[in-house]
Amino acid sequence: MLITFSDPINFSVQVGDLAWYVPTNPQGVPGNTYSTGNTNDPVFGARLIGEITEINRTTLPYHIDVPAIINVPFAQDFIMFSKNNEANLTSILGYYANITMVNNSGEKIELFSVGSEISESSK
């Protein structure tokens, strides 16, 4: 199922992330039913759509592809995503890391702080 958007898709969304939605109308669409098996709030809780397998950020209409739909979102529902914990659960590993920071703005900016969490991986 292709879910299309008129606005650009968040840059952090990756293939393998999970797509979710929250109904903006508690009654839903007449004739359709909402599955509430994965939520604590049967009216406005988040519902899993499924795993994202494709993302189009370059041409309109922007879209994500979720082929194995668990719950079907409706027009005007709020769509969000969560990261896959198997791939995104760890911090930086190793002895060193390289980082490049780029200011794409034409104006002067100030950087107040940069932080990191690093763990030696070979001990």
Each residue's pLDDT tens digit, 56-115: 999 999 999 999 988 888 888 889 999 877 666 655 556 667 788 888 888 888 888 888
pLDDT reported for residue 20: 93
**Amino acid letter for position 52:** I
Residue of 32, 40, 35 lying closest to 50 (CA atoms)? 35
CA–CA gap between residue 31 and residue 37 (Å, rounded): 19
CA–CA gap between residue 33 and residue 38 (Å, rounded): 14
pLDDT reported for residue 19: 95
pLDDT reported for residue 64: 96
pLDDT in tens, 1-57: 899 999 999 988 999 999 999 887 665 555 555 544 444 555 557 889 999 999 999
Contacts of 92 (CB under 8 A, 6+ apart): 116, 117, 118, 119
Note the pTM of the prediction, 2 decimals: 0.60
CA–CA gap between residue 6 and residue 119 (Å, rounded): 41
